[in-house]
Structure 1
């Protein structure tokens, strides 16, 4: 039978509650509050149990301002989740053009991940996004 380590922050109910709150802020686009937490020391590349970063969640849920704020605070635009998906591929899948633009402005690589944003745009016939990526249809 396992024991809990009281010094392990991943087992602290208060830490887990705060993490859930932060991931919720990313999903809902609560830019100012989330930025304040990152400014106060929360890692910009914080991930959940599926490897989704705050940027991934904000991107997938269509919050370009939140994505830009996280990228400005050092979040990695190319960090893939546990399934190999990148934020720009997720935003492409969802058709979130402004989020895609914010990610590209922040250094996202549309060829990264599986499937990549380029592959996703081709799959869905998004020639507008392929042009943004500098890729041919």
Structure 2
């Protein structure tokens, strides 16, 4: 079998359609992706890194594609092979609109991958104060711990994120 042969006897046209769908999700071509979904493309299809179409759309800031996928039943909490969820990816990017869309689409505010890191922790780490505030307003638990025992405040301090660290410290002082 040559490197260009499809794995496990998969139809080369199906493989090419899958590759195209990932590009469409990143680029924001909701109409073409809609056509592919109508033709039977699985809404939770994932690539070799475990990224679903929704993860790629969320990370790329493609709100229309994310809305389409969520409306078709995409799993907003499915983690990729690195344990990152679409909500965590949007929080990392600081994409307030996408975070709101994912929360409205069913992503659990404290959903986490195997490492226990939540979207709040990612927002804290990368000093995304507006995202942090949105997540807190939606009920995110600032005292929740990841697999290593760290909180969002721990993450903010570790990464030198001054705005989110100050906000989380303020909250901790109130409890």
TM-score, with structure 1 as normaliser: 0.87
1:32 aligns with 2:34: no
Count of residue pairs the alignment pairs up: 133
By how many angstroms is 1:5 displaced? 9.1
Question: Is 1:89–1:110's contact at 8 Å kept on the other side of the alignment?
Answer: no
Distance 1:116 1:8 in 2: 38
- Displacement over 3 Å in runs of 4+: 4-8
Distance 2:28 2:8 in 1: 32
Instruction: Map 1:7-86; keep pairs closer than 5 Å.
Output: 8-9=9-10, 12-86=11-85
- When residues 103 and 123 of structure 1 are mapped into structure 2, their CA distance, relative to the original with a 3 A threshold, is same
Instruction: Map 1:78-97; keep pairs closer than 5 Å.
Output: 78-97=77-96
Question: Is 1:64–1:102's contact at 8 Å kept on the other side of the alignment?
Answer: yes
Question: Is 2:95–2:131's contact at 8 Å kept on the other side of the alignment?
Answer: no
Question: Is 2:58–2:66's contact at 8 Å kept on the other side of the alignment?
Answer: yes
By how many angstroms is 1:78 displaced? 0.4
By relative contact order (CA 8 Å, sep 6+), the higher-ranking structure is 1
Distance 2:80 2:92 in 1: 15
Larger radius of gyration: 2
By how many angstroms is 1:14 displaced? 1.5
- When residues 6 and 30 of structure 1 are mapped into structure 2, their CA distance, relative to the original with a 3 A threshold, is closer
Q: SS of the counterpart of 1:82?
A: coil
Unaligned runs of 5+ residues in structure 1 are: none
By how many angstroms is 1:80 displaced? 0.4
Distance 2:102 2:7 in 1: 38
By how many angstroms is 1:39 displaced? 2.1
- Matched with 2:162 is none
Quick check: 121-130 or 13-22, which moved more?
121-130
Distance 1:74 1:100 in 2: 17
Q: SS of the counterpart of 2:21?
A: helix
Question: Is 2:70–2:76's contact at 8 Å kept on the other side of the alignment?
Answer: yes
